[in-house]
Amino acid sequence: MAENHRTTDSEKLLLKQHAEKHFTAGEIVRDIIIGVSDGLTVPFALAAGLSGANASSSIVLTAGIAEVAAGAISMGLGGYLAAKSEADHYVRELRREQEEIVTVPDTEAAEVAEILAEYGIEEHEYRPVVNALKKNPQAWLDFMMKFELGLEKPDPRRAVHSALTIVIAYIVGGIVPLIPYMFIPIARKAVIASVILTLFALLIFGYAKGYFTGNKPIKSALQTALIGAVASAAAFGMAKAVQGG
């Protein structure tokens, strides 16, 4: 019986470690997806629009680089603030739970019992757990944060890491549609190469995004490329319409 108990504890530890690693990787992948998707699409549409307005490659390149710089800063700041808000929310809920454990311990103990009952644990089984948590305020607090509120303690470096990941991903994605303008001086010719290169990059990125997010990779690749194509075509068409007007 003791051997079975040790096995259960070991399995729980392995599951916890696996969940934590998976969650961290998921956050990184999410930041990369946010940065690359916007980085590929926005400068791509801007370059196509300026090309439609008969701007030179040097002007398109200058405007594109400026957009990539501004967009990367804006997206990185957004990622930082989002991660910071999550951390602040965790701290607020942590303080509230700490106060409730001190001021209304019986109510909190009843909530623990209710949570355990929802998992199918009988009263005679969860009573010792409730009593043990009452003797260990920190474990009690951790239990309530995770099982009542569904909140994991955030990495204190998460906000900075998120911002840097998004910034780098945005720059990498944003440079791709601008590469042809570095080597082809005529914008009308450069835009064709930019379209081909960027759509190819969107297909690869869409496939990778689908693979890592659990969606159908081929479907994700086609959808991502289609969105980029529509955005650039719309920008190119509007520039032509304004110029013609």
pLDDT reported for residue 5: 43
* Residue 146 confidence (pLDDT) above 50: yes
Burial of 32 (0-12, 13-18, 19+ CB in 10 A): buried
pLDDT reported for residue 182: 93
* Residue 211 confidence (pLDDT) above 70: yes
Residue 156: CB atoms within 10 Å: 8
- For the chain, the distance separating the N- and C-terminal CA atoms, rounded to the nearest angstrom, is 84
Each residue's pLDDT tens digit, 59-76: 999 999 999 999 999 999
Each residue's pLDDT tens digit, 15-60: 455 444 444 457 788 888 888 888 888 888 888 888 777 778 899 9
Top pLDDT among 137 and 86 is at 86
pLDDT reported for residue 22: 46
Distance CA 118, CA 207 (A): 39
Distance CA 58, CA 55 (A): 8
Structure-block tokens of residue 15: 């599951």
Which of the four pLDDT bands, split at 50, 70 and 90, describes residue 121? low
pLDDT reported for residue 23: 43
pLDDT reported for residue 137: 73
Burial of 144 (0-12, 13-18, 19+ CB in 10 A): buried
